[in-house]
Structure 1
Amino acid sequence: MNTASKHKPLIVICAPTACGKTSCAEALFAQDSSSSFAGIAEVISADSMQVYRGFNIGTAKPDKALLEKLPHHLIDICEMRGSFGAGDFVRKTLEAAADIYSRKKLPVIVGGTGFYIRNFIYGLPPTPQADSLLRGQIEARMKKEGAQKLWDELENLDPASAHKIHIHDEYRIKRALEVCIASGKPLSSFSVEPVPREGFSFLILSLQRSRAELYERIDKRVDLMFEQGLADEVRSLVSSGCCAEDSAMQAIGYREFFTADGRLNEDIQAVKERIKKDSRAYAKRQQTFFKAFTDAIPLNADDIEGCEKKITEFLAGAENTLDSYAKFGHNIQSF
């Protein structure tokens, strides 16, 4: 990788759900790990659901023990009934990265929300100017009809864009519909050149597992979530005022608990099987999405040694940045 001295190094670890992203980051950067990079980094979570307070089990949110030995940013920063989109992620990630650099640490983006990562690295494509009247009409429809109805409409108009947008990302659903209606062209027709964001040098590690192995891990994870009390978590969220129409409740792992009329489904086994099915379908889409990251280096998710090697090479090329990373600690000085 060609690293100019003005560019700050930033590592991205991306992969489908249940692939082992968090375990990989812990093995590489946690303070108590045996890795050469123990304690040098802080994680910026690229998970569209872990931003919401109260949504813990279904999002596989890192526990307190991990957060103490590997600090995470963009966790629990949004109210449970709030909304958070790609633009928010880019803005918050820039702020978090600046904070991490100020303490001579290395920012590492870890997550599976591909469009968040893509938009941070490559930016957003140019699109038609916003139409305030049309935007207001779509906003009113979103409140009345819900995200699923508008997402279904978007899928008919622009399937390529719809399949890249999470059902709970109301902002991007509304914006994609607005572009389709205002321009008569799908949002996906407005392309962006894959030029990385200025000021950063990126190392993108794309963790891999076979589809069969990934599906098995997803099924086991969902079983564990129910053992940990996912159903009780959902009931507690509903008791706190959350409903099926809320952005966070429309995510996989939560939306499956609701019937078509917004009531809680008491058939827990059916809910569990639906979550597994939806998670497997989502993982398949993620695998396809991450293949489009042409700069990414594919590595087996269990190949920690291979990850260490790529990071070593990357930081060696970045030796003129941030005071040669000497302030990261003795493990980095050998670079």
Structure 2
Amino acid sequence: MVSNPPILISIVGPTAIGKTALSIKLAKHFNTEIISADSRQFYSDMQIGTAAPTPEELAAAKHHFIKHIPVDTYYSVGTFEKDAIALLKTLHANHRVVIMVGGSGLYVNAVTKGLDKLPKLDPAVRDTLNSRLLANGLEALQLELKALDPKAFNTIAIDNPQRVIRALEVCITSGKPYSSFLKATTKARDFKTITIGLTAPREVIYERINKRVDLMIAEGLLDEVKSLQQKRHLNALNTVGYKELFKYLDGEWTLEFAISEIKKNTRRFAKRQLTWFKKSEDTIWFDYETDITDIIAVITRQLS
């Protein structure tokens, strides 16, 4: 690493903690641009339910990987890694500091550390698991993963069928826990990463989540979900906020119950995010109410 390397400031933390607001403040201070590592904010059709930056926020600082692909386009974490690394090279030619923000831990790690190398998998196992998903639902696969690899069950995005099936594929094909392969050495990067984490007491996080869900409903989340009903089979839409309202639209749940389930499932998601991000010993954690000048002071010391 050179003595004065380019810098990536990675902002992590649970959903609804204030990462977007902090990223914009830092982008303005360092006169730079923002990369999103939120895998659901990539999709142009999903604005309200993903809490994507508003037009005002997008105008405040230049963003990348926000609503840049249609919801029916397959976009893997491996593709994101390649695209993000290529973009960083371009951005770092003009900005020593670039900001990355997002709550998708796997996508953050793909950029900062690289993806883990998994064993060769058997396509027949994946086909069987996909058939079981259609026949029996996600919960049966979740329970199998919990039995085979409790560590993975507690850390991956358990509500994402693609991730559950991938973990089970590895467990079944290799005979070893999926989590045992997530220890690869970090890929060499030509930039230095400074990771800033935002957190709060759990009751504060949960209250912020509840308020955000109420705001999403008020802003028209139900209409957004209705507009996507014909595409509900897509993996991108098997997401908290969308899948619960599909059940309401199917007549299975009342609207009140669906909203309560969105809140509950988002709180569960936030807990998993914290479990994932707390694994990194290099993260500099701040309370979500910390004054921006204090955060900038810490980052400036790191830069020098």
Confirm or deny that 1:291 pairs with 2:278: yes
The residue that corresponds to 2:166 in the other structure is 175
Query: CA RMSD for the aligned pairs?
Result: 2.5
Matched residue, 1:184? 175
1:232-251 alignment to 2 at 5 Å?
A: 232-238=223-229, 241-243=230-232, 245-251=233-239
- The one-letter code of the counterpart of 1:313 is R
1:313 — aligned with what? Answer: 301
Partner of 1:226: 217
Query: Does the CA contact (< 8 Å) of 1:29 and 1:70 recur in 2?
Result: yes
- Cα distance change on mapping 1:301 and 1:311 into 2, 3 Å: same
Give the Cα separation in 2 of the matches to 1:150 and 1:60.
28
Equivalent in the alignment of 1:323: none
Deviation of 1:70 (Å): 0.7
Give 1:15-164 correspondences, 5 Å limit.
15-30=13-28, 35=29, 37=30, 40-104=31-95, 106-142=97-133, 147=138, 149-164=140-155
Deviations 1:251-288 (A, max 9, x none): 1111111339x925562111111111111111122122
1:17-52 superposed Cα distances (whole Å, 9 cap, x missing partner): 00000111122223xxxx4x2xx2211111121011
Report how far residue 82 of structure 1 moved.
3.3
Residue of structure 2 aligned with 1:271, choices 249, 258, 267: 258
Contact 2:40/2:236, CA 8 A, preserved across alignment: yes
Shift of 1:192: 1.5
Rg larger in 1 or in 2? Answer: 1
Aligned residue type for 1:13: I
The separation in 1 between residues aligned to 2:221 and 2:182, in whole angstroms, is 39
Identity of aligned residues (%): 36
Alpha-carbon contact 1:126-1:192 (below 8 Å) kept = no
Point out where structure 2 has 5 or more consecutive residues left out of the alignment.
none
Instruction: Tell me by how many angstroms 1:136 deviates.
Output: 4.2
Amino acid at match of 1:273: S
CA contact (8 A) 1:167 1:250 kept: no
Q: Distance in 2 between matches of 1:63 and 1:171?
A: 28
Give the ranges of 4+ consecutive aligned residues of structure 1 lying more than 6 Å apart after TM superposition: none
Question: Which stretch shifts more, 225-234 or 300-309?
Answer: 300-309
SS in 1 for 2:231: coil
**Residues in 1 aligned to 2:62 and 2:174: alpha-carbon distance in whole angstroms:** 44
CA contact (8 A) 1:206 1:296 kept: yes
Of 4, 13, 18, the match for 2:11? 13
1:235 and 1:125 map into 2 onto residues whose CA distance is 37
How far residue 133 of structure 1 moved from its aligned partner, in angstroms, is: 3.7
Amino acid at match of 1:256: E
Q: Distance in 2 between matches of 1:254 and 1:153?
A: 25
Query: What letter matches 1:307 in structure 2?
Result: I
* Most deviating of 293-302 and 126-135: 126-135
TM, length-normalised to structure 2 = 0.89
Distance 1:168 1:51 in 2: 18
Kept in 1, the 8 Å contact 2:6–2:96? The answer is: no
Matching residue of 1:328: none
Tell me how far 1:166 sits from its aligned partner: 2.3
Give the Cα–Cα distance (whole angstroms) in 1 for the partners of residues 86 and 17 of structure 2.
Answer: 28
Q: Distance in 2 between matches of 1:81 and 1:151?
A: 25
Q: CA deviation at 1:155?
A: 2.9
Cα shift at 1:135: 3.8
Q: Number of paired residues?
A: 303
